[in-house]
Amino acid sequence: MNDRVSRRRFVRLSGGAAAAASLGAPGLVRAAVDDTRLVARHVNVLIVGAGLSGLMAGRELQRRGVDSFLVLEASNRVGGRTLNMPIGGGHVVEVGGEWIGPGQDSIATLIDELGIGAFDAYYGGDTTYDIEGVISRGLLPDASFSELADFTKVAWQLDRLCKKMPVGEPWRMAGAAELDRMTLGDWLRQHASTSFTPSVFRLITRAVWSGYPERISLLWVLHYLRAAGGLLPVILNEGGAQEQRIVGGSQVISERMATDLGDRVLLGRPALRIEDHAPDRMRVVTPVETFTADRVIVAMAPSDTVRIDFAPALPKPRAELASGWARLPRLPLVKAALLYKTPFWRADGLNGAMQSDRGAVQLVFDNSPDDASMGVLSCFLSVVESPQFADRTTREEGLREELARYFGPKALDATGYVEKDWSTDPWSTGCITPLTPGILTAGGEHLRKPSGRIFWAGTESAKRWCGYMDGAISAGARAANEVHASLKA
Ligand SMILES: Cc1cc2nc3c(=O)[nH]c(=O)nc-3n(C[C@H](O)[C@H](O)[C@H](O)COP(=O)(O)OP(=O)(O)OC[C@H]3O[C@@H](n4cnc5c(N)ncnc54)[C@H](O)[C@@H]3O)c2cc1C
């Protein structure tokens, strides 16, 4: 804490930060900006957001010898969209970002540097599918030869199309505007010849983008797949993005980075306003202190930046990108875990994974600890699709019953329950984004194009694995390198 802030005043200001955290802050902007008694500190670089991306930006600045920086985090913890919850026995379960897979080199390098291990997620056994109301078990869903052949053909065509895109620059793809006017649903209508194929894509878009094919821009889907290396790396469990888990839970990555950065990470400091201050300085106002800096890195989803008051206003395409992102018709996501004495489904030849195109639960995964000393089934669901699960109590009860449909009556005997409803998080507008037509071609270039002395990080700005933890890390490093180059210049 700055020693010019008296203890009494700190208590009052911290209360302001807490209120900002619970109220979503905008009402406090004017009062904080007008409060000329707020203490100002100057650093070379201010990083706003202590998720993986912001912390990685700090780590990279430090590696490059830039020592004068601070990371401002709105909430009272680091990690953003990664969050560990204790489940007893010294174990945690992740209720945010969790899996990593081959080709995610940024996160692989980082965890190696931090001395954090990874282990294979459990997929030994049959997967359960609930497609078009039919529950089946196996390596693939129960479908006729012609249905499987149709899906394979369409998946291959989509993959081939995405490979025509320059990685990370969808707006430069030939015919980008037209591809961004279409939805994935429009494209599927032109290419699929069974109802099974759109149903499987509905399952995929619910899981990957929290939305439906009829709403999602085709260009956005292609960009996302291209950034991951194609459709298979995204949808495969083994050999794809869901292959491995982080020892100790993914939030430890942020916690370790924050420990290394020490008192440069300030919690409870929501940036309310970012403004040009002097000819060559920026000012960042929080309810606790104000800061000035030569450069600012904003490390969060575009939709989260709409809560910050920028002065002067951001370039129109960047502002519209953020507001378009914030208005997306996404399915608000709950990630919940039911705890069991044992992973009982394994003895029945099941791997605990379930995927559905229209069931109340979108996805289930076996999230048991590596030593299988207890059983954990993690579920993804949206209360918009399942209003019967609108409150936590009915949700816990209803989930047991849903899981019993897939894994038998033993699923009713859960010994515990934890969840995170991301739609109520005051600082995150969610993770997986079903970008609607028009947004990407109108403002996509501004995803990572600096706005004056403001530089953009956050997984959404990544060229590779955007939307994933890996993308958050590479985007943080990229923004730090841009800032470093700009300071030298
Ligand atoms: C349920 C769920 C499941 C997921 N599953 C996976 C998975 O299995 N694998 C995978 O790779 N990825 C997964 N993800 C995505 C992954 O978690 C994110 O891509 C990644 O964590 C994003 O990191 P970030 O730093 O870019 O953004 P964030 O984590 O959102 O960090 C932004 C930070 O900025 C802070 N902030 C916001 N506003 C302000 C402000 N005004 N002032 C100061 N600070 C502010 C926020 O509190 C937050 O800490 C999942 C996400 C969710 C929610």
> Which tens digit of pLDDT belongs to each residue from 124-179?
999 999 999 999 999 889 999 999 999 999 999 999 999 999 999 999 999 999 99
Average pLDDT of the chain, as a whole number: 91
Residues 298 and 345 in one domain: no
Minimum-distance ligand 1 atom for the alpha carbon of 25: 41
Per-residue burial over 129-152, b if 16 or more Cβ lie within 10 Å, else e, is: bbbbeeeebeeebebeeebbebbe
Residues 193 and 259 in one domain: no
Residue 15 has pLDDT above 50, yes or no: no
Q: How far is the CA of 51 from the centre of ligand 1 (A)?
A: 6
Under the banding of pLDDT at 50, 70 and 90, the label for residue 37 is: low
- Phi-psi group of 80: left, alpha or beta (phi > 0 → left; psi -120 to 50 → alpha; rest → beta): left
Closest CA to 99 of 193, 236, 205, 212: 236
Nearest CA to ligand 1 atom 35: 49
Among 228, 258, 282, identify where a domain stops.
228
Determine the residue type at 288.
V
CA–CA distance, 154 with 4 (Å, rounded to integer) = 64
Q: How far is the CA of 397 from the centre of ligand 1 (A)?
A: 28
Q: How far is the CA of 439 from the centre of ligand 1 (A)?
A: 21
Q: How far is the CA of 153 from the centre of ligand 1 (A)?
A: 34
State the CATH number of the domain containing residue 153.
1.10.405.10
Residues 210 and 255 in one domain: no
Residue 363 falls within a domain, yes or no? yes
Residues 221 and 286 in one domain: no
Q: What one-character DSSP code corresponds to residue 435?
A: P
Residue 320 falls within a domain, yes or no? no
CA–CA distance, 188 with 150 (Å, rounded to integer) = 11
Residue 131 falls within a domain, yes or no? no
Burial of 409: CB neighbours in 10 Å, binned 0-12, 13-18, 19+? exposed
In this prediction, residue 13 carries a pLDDT of 36
Alpha-carbon separation of residue 461 from 133, 214, 310 (angstroms)? 37, 24, 19
Residue 191 falls within a domain, yes or no? yes
Q: How far is the CA of 421 from the centre of ligand 1 (A)?
A: 14
Residue 8 has pLDDT above 60, yes or no: no
CA–CA distance, 466 with 459 (Å, rounded to integer) = 5
pLDDT tens digit string along 392-401?
999 999 999 9
Burial of 166: CB neighbours in 10 Å, binned 0-12, 13-18, 19+? middle
- Averaged pLDDT, 297-320: 96
State the CATH number of the domain containing residue 341.
3.90.660.10
In this prediction, residue 1 carries a pLDDT of 33
State the CATH number of the domain containing residue 20.
3.50.50.60
Q: Which percentage of the chain shows pLDDT scores above 70?
A: 92
Q: How far is the CA of 455 from the centre of ligand 1 (A)?
A: 18
Angle in degrees, 0-180, between the axes of helices 145-162 and 184-191, rounded to the nearest 10: 130
- Averaged pLDDT, 304-312: 96
Minimum-distance ligand 1 atom for the alpha carbon of 380: 1
Nearest CA to ligand 1 atom 2: 96
Q: How far is the CA of 303 from the centre of ligand 1 (A)?
A: 12
Residue 321 falls within a domain, yes or no? no
Q: Which domain holds residue 100?
A: 84-104+115-124+242-247+330-424
Q: Quote the pTM value.
A: 0.93
Q: Facing residues of 429 across strands?
A: none
Cβ atoms within 10 Å, residue 209? 24
In this prediction, residue 18 carries a pLDDT of 42
CA–CA distance, 313 with 451 (Å, rounded to integer) = 10
Residues 74 and 22 in one domain: yes
In this prediction, residue 313 carries a pLDDT of 96
Residue 73 has pLDDT above 90, yes or no: yes
User: Where are any strands of DSSP class E within 14-125?
Assistant: 40-48, 69-72, 84-88, 91-94, 118-120
Of 7 and 160, the one with more pLDDT: 160
Is there a contact between 213 and 183 (Cβ–Cβ < 8 Å)?
Answer: yes
Under the banding of pLDDT at 50, 70 and 90, the label for residue 254 is: very high
Pocket of ligand 1 from Cβ distances under 6 Å: 48-54, 72-75, 80-82, 96-99, 270-271, 299-301, 304, 307-308, 333, 335, 422, 427-428, 431, 458-459, 467-470, 472
Nearest CA to ligand 1 atom 17: 97
User: Pocket of ligand 1, candidates 431, 432, 448: which has the most ligand atoms within 8 Å of its Cβ, to mutate?
Assistant: 431
User: Pocket of ligand 1, candidates 469, 470, 478: which has the most ligand atoms within 8 Å of its Cβ, to mutate?
Assistant: 469
Half-sphere exposure of 139 (CA within 13 A, CB side): 2
Residues 335 and 410 in one domain: yes
Residue 186 falls within a domain, yes or no? yes
Q: How far is the CA of 395 from the centre of ligand 1 (A)?
A: 24
Q: How many domains does the chain have?
A: 3
Chain position carrying tokens 């939305």: 211
Under the banding of pLDDT at 50, 70 and 90, the label for residue 460 is: very high
Contacts of 288 (CB under 8 A, 6+ apart): 10, 13, 14, 16, 17, 38, 268, 269
- Averaged pLDDT, 374-389: 93
Burial of 455: CB neighbours in 10 Å, binned 0-12, 13-18, 19+? buried
Residue 178 falls within a domain, yes or no? yes
Secondary structure string (H, E, C) spanning 109-151: HHHHHHCCCEEECCCCCEEEEEECCEEEEECCCCCCHHHHHHH
Minimum-distance ligand 1 atom for the alpha carbon of 75: 47
pLDDT tens digit string along 22-35?
434 444 555 555 55
Nearest CA to ligand 1 atom 31: 51
Residues 150 and 120 in one domain: no
Q: What one-character DSSP code corresponds to residue 451?
A: B
Residue 11 has pLDDT above 60, yes or no: no
Residues 262 and 339 in one domain: no
pLDDT tens digit string along 355-376?
999 999 999 999 999 999 999 9
Under the banding of pLDDT at 50, 70 and 90, the label for residue 12 is: very low
Q: How far is the CA of 97 from the centre of ligand 1 (A)?
A: 8
Residue 482 falls within a domain, yes or no? yes
- Averaged pLDDT, 438-460: 95
CA–CA distance, 297 with 476 (Å, rounded to integer) = 9
